Structure 1
Amino acid sequence: MTATRIITDASGRTRRSVARYRLRHGDDERVVGAARFRIGSEQGNDLVLDARGVSRYHAEIVADERGFVVRDLGSTNGTFVGGLRVEGAYLPSGSTRLRLGGCELSVELLEQQQHELETSDAEELAGMVGTSPLMREIFATIERVAPSGATVLVQGESGTGKELVASALHGLSQRSGSLCVFDCAAVPSSLVEAQLFGHERGAFTGASDARAGVFEEADGGTLFLDELGELPLELQPKLLRALETRSVTRIGATRARQVDVRLVAATNRDLAREVNRGSFRADLYYRLAVVELAVPPLRDRREDVRPLAIRFIKDALRHEPGRAAEVIAGVSEDNWQRLEKLPWPGNVRELRNFIERTLVLSDGPRTQDIAVAARRPTPGAPASSSGANAALDLDKPFSDHKADVITDFERAYLFGQLERHDNNISAAARASGLDRMNFKRILKKYR
């Protein structure tokens, strides 16, 4: 198997570090290639295991900046590395054993090579800003895929800019029609079918006139289905049929209407996990994932924080360019580094809101404003990369891993209390059950 990591060499060139793995399952041995390698019992996986206890999409092996990670995809019977059940774990160098349900696999690192990475020369694309190798690789993929008309599945956490990806795909395409956006989570489930596919007059109570759905409105253009993971299960076959036949049938109609629509779908859910849970159809997932684009969270591309913040300052003060220049020049290098180190659980959206808020309340992002931003993760947001729910690094000693988790907790808890009490240290200390001096002593470690 081939897995990849993105690195920058001493000359400044961006390269992809490629690792090849040999997989053994019983008498079956193979060396296979994919940057993201999925294993399960469904035919859509890179390695199909028809064995007892293996879920439809059981696990995947992917690369990050620290190494190669095996991740469980919400399987029923679990993924085990060296006998330990894991949600995510780094693969050690050499050979190791995986167990997926009742199936044993041997994974052996064969070699690593480096290849120059294909990235875009652009550092901005359709409103997206990114100087990091991760974003410039996404820009290159968008530039390559946009003219093709292929269906694209965009995955990423909330606030990463998935709608901007859809806008870029449409803007760089050759389609003359408009970009229509439909948010599957914003419409009551009882109305989704009518708004997607349209209805005839009298098709249901309240349907006083015939109405086209968004598929027809997007004819000749692009339809962006946001939050696709929220689409009711009972409507998924109809969406699949529309994609396969390039036609839609309005509610109450007997005749299908042909549509020429390029579909881009986005979700902050892992659809492979949803397939395992039975809440998303495997056949629809196959059809949507012609091209998959994973938009990275801001914490994985910290070098983009500064150019993004500068863009947001200029946007917020577009009628006061002089003030914008003063604000940008007035942010110290120390404060830029503070901004870059924050976890940003709300990603680019949170950074934009932070910049706009601090500009309203002050002349620019100050130290105290940045400290307040280092708050506890918002409900439902992922933990930071070193948190308790992150991939386990089994090569790291237990005590070191525990120390990382405690550090994350202390930082999030203390700054969360500060935010709740308007930066009043005495009030925050009382609410924490700590005396003021002890609270300040711990807080000093993170300022």
Structure 2
Amino acid sequence: GLLHEGDEVLEVNGVEMRGKSINDVCDILSVMTGPLTFMIVPSANRVTYQNTNGNRENFIMHMKAHFDYDPEDDGYIPCRELGISFQKGEILHVISQEDANWWQAFREGEEDQTLAGLIPSKSFQHQREALKQTITGDKPGKDKPKKQNTLLCGKKNLKKRKKKSLYQDGGYPIYSSNSDEYEAEEILTYEEVALYYPRANHKRPIVLIGPPNIGRHELRQRLMEDRDRFAAAIPHTSRAKKDGEIDGQDYHFITRVQFESDILSRKFVEHGEYEKAYYGTSLDAIRSVVNYSKICVLNLHPQSLKILRSSDLKPFVVFVAPPPLEKLRKKRLKNGEPYKEEELKEIIEKAREMEDKFGHYFDMIIINNDTERAYHQLLNEINSLEREPQWVPVTWVKTAS
């Protein structure tokens, strides 16, 4: 049922197409309903692919979309009626990349459709986004967020502030990440993904991301109550050991010189200085929890996600987001928690900024309007991770195989 470049369309549902222009064909197709039956003359240059067994089949590439797309708003698409819309985070199965600008693809769950739809190719989407930024003078990482928000409405112009330190959530030392400034933001289009099947000997770390005072600490503590299943990564520090503390249990105590050497070696997911001593969470500390067949639960700053995702740990990232302002206000009143209006607005603004800049790393979004409900939602998802395959970056699967 797939049309290829170069095929000659003779009839559609018995309607003669020979001699008609592309616009005429599009007009005819737009009013047709139900199944479409094409009579074609196959192109002599049709390309086929071979799998590892030598069988002829169409090569399918699985892509995760990092932008929203609607063909109705695209003036460049050859035929809007043949385009398919999708939202950021959706999985697309690309079955043809023969055209440099327009790929043929199905959305996840719609593979039984007779015809594939058109989506902009990765290179074409990148080129026009770059051109758009050149024309408007906007660049990613500047004052205005460029990507569409899928969670929070009412997008504002957010002024980036130089980060002096990270917020504190639940009494932990204030960490800073491996860089004092946000890295230059790339133009996000698609990411190739593959199905990863759960492995009994590798529990994916759970990373909770979110603005301050949104309840990440409470969710983490609830999970950690099940000590047979969940565990924390033991942090490193350069401070002196206090009476009663045990090396390797309370902290990994190392010298300041060793800590600074490990920073340069990029061994830390997050690190920072607190009261003239370094503190940090290392990749090895997380890996140690995984090696004990437990699920490591982490509260991290989103800047840490890039280095964590480039490791062999395969983290599952959960964005804990606030509800709309009115519901957030009611939640504080219901729980008897004091608040300032400016504080609530700051939480929502920070969440919007995080989603805009780091949303392509998120595997799940939880709206924390009720802590108990959010906990069960999170726990159900963690249970699914141990039973069901998940779409992950294709490099993770290639590395694991």
TM-score (norm. length: structure 2): 0.32
Please state which structure has a larger fraction of its residues in helix. Answer: 1
Higher relative contact order (CA 8 A, sep 6+): 2
